Structure 1
């Protein structure tokens, strides 16, 4: 194990795990890991998120603070005497944490900064119909996601890709970019550069997605807007609509996978057209054909199984 630098790794999601594993297998000296507290259901089942599992398996010291300014946590944290910190998918750090190491704290963000600052860059890139996104490493500073850029890597967004598929593609290359950034800093081969200044009209943000953001508005003028929203929220948190069987009988309906069909028609917007193998929803420029969905109270299903469970076949609509 390399003695220098002493690294504290900070991360909480499966996305974080790929960078942690890359660093550890390359024999970098990870002196401690900070991750989120266990949810109650994890404590009962005695299984944990991948970052914590990896820390326990490899006997790496671990802290799971509820409060990052708690005196007990800060005392234990400073005992690690970190030279540098690496953050991948974690909440906002207070200055007392990110400013502590003499070599700084750098973060990996899943967008090409300054575009898509925020908690959900992968989702919003697809929702907004981007053709490319990427990864950025940057030194953390006072303003969120606004520090000097170290490295960037561009990634193509395929036209039918979902957020889940794009995340899987990005996380497989995330560890190598973190490693390249660390080595560049150590060898003094990277010159941090300020983020580009972009006019507010062109700047896109990636705030945390709320349930209301997930609601499908079928009256949208573009079929592409609806299509991008569904794939940008798949598989999580998932796009949803209200499926009406009659005016007084309705359920929430999550939609995970669809295809778009451009075709002129005279059907009212939101009408659900069922056959034994297909569910089409009429929109202004054609139809959205549902391939996988979940009716409230039931499991996620392929469209064939979902249709088999619908007893009422006429006068269905969504809104």
Structure 2
């Protein structure tokens, strides 16, 4: 079977999916149509916002479907009219069987982890937050359960000490692009032996649930390495945060922290205690040392390197981080 002749329907929404879509089209693969989310109002003016995948699909001259409901008869009829033979899903919604089972070769998903580890919505964040030193991308066949279909292919990648979710996102996005085209080629060649995700001790797995605001709060009673990993795994978005309150009982605010390093040392300071020379550094006490802050944003202010922030934050020693 010629991989370039397979009729592919591509489903995705955010930037993470775009390089794969472009690689398929530019590589001569037969993408017959794209499914993405409906336009949504966003911003102060509530103007309709198009998904990154829709913008790319339009530039590439591809037919586009934007169903509100994936089980709607009119959508299923339009999808079937494309006569897809293979479905590819990257960062889209959970699909009903009527969609993922429609192509005769099935539908595969690209996931930003080494499955079965880090199933869920936030695999890149959670891997860094948990201090992992390796991750990767996986293609797997969709079935009735989220991220539990048979594995087709994987590509491993180290997580470097200076990686954050932004840098790792970019690396995995491009590694995933190659894995997607390789998977299509292997399916066409009959060179895949799907590995079922069965008989796995679930207690050995780390999940990757969606990130909520409270998940981003920094716990200054933790060890320093865990706090730095927490910050890295949430930078630049949605960003780790902490309360910031005056020791004299004044008004409390919050701060987002984007970059920090751990300075291990014994001390008798309470967690969240601030030290600073008011010119070049600010650090906060944690369980086994200090967290030296390098880039942060106080609520209502700009995101700044700590040296620039201290030019206008003369009373920094009047504050403490956390509760």
Q: TM-score, normalised by structure 1?
A: 0.95
Question: Of 146, 159, 162, which residue of structure 2 is paired with 1:160?
Answer: 162
**SS of equivalent residue, structure 1 residue 314:** helix
Consecutive unaligned residues of structure 2, counting only runs of 5 or more, are none
Equivalents in 2 of 1:106, 1:132: separation in Å? Answer: 23
Q: Are 2:283 and 1:280 equivalent residues in the alignment? A: yes
Distance of aligned partners of 1:44 and 1:247 in 2 relative to their CA distance in 1, 3 Å threshold: closer
With 178-187 and 28-37 compared, the bigger mean Cα shift is at 28-37
Specify every segment of 5 or more residues in structure 1 that has no aligned partner in the other structure, as ranges: none
Describe the superposition over 1:39-87 as per-residue Cα deviations: whole angstroms up to 9, x where unpaired: 2138966774431111111210011122212232222222111111001
Aligned equivalents of 1:102 and 1:278: distance in 2?
Answer: 60
| Aligned with residue 126 of structure 1, among 125, 128, 132 | 128
Instruction: Give distance in 1, aligned partners of 2:48 and 2:67.
Output: 18
Instruction: Write out aligned runs for 1:1-12 (5 A).
Output: 4-12=5-13
What's 1:57 paired with? 59
CA distance in 2: counterparts of 1:274 and 1:33, whole angstroms: 53
Deviations 1:183-227 (A, max 9, x none): 00001011111126432331110010111110111112x211111
1:226 matched to which residue of 2? 227
TM-score by length of 2: 0.94
Match in the other structure for 1:238: 239
Distance 2:38 2:19 in 1: 20
- Report if the CA contact (8 A) 1:2-1:27 is conserved: no
Residues 273-312 of structure 1 deviation map (CA, whole Å, 9 limit, x = unaligned): 2220111011121111111111111121111222223242
Aligned to 1:269: 271
Aligned length: 318
Aligned equivalent of 1:310? 313
Instruction: Name 2:197's counterpart in structure 1.
Output: 195
SS at match of 1:194: coil
Question: Among residues 144, 147, 150, which one is paired with 1:148 in the alignment?
Answer: 150
CA–CA distance in structure 1, aligned partners of residues 4 and 287 of structure 2: 63
Q: In the alignment, what sits opposite 1:14?
A: 15
TM-align CA RMSD:
1.8
Structure-2 residue corresponding to 1:295: 298
The CA deviation at 1:15 is 0.6
In structure 2, distance between residues paired with 1:40 and 1:143 = 31
**Aligned in 2, Cα 1:2/1:109: closer, same or farther, shift over 3 Å?**
closer
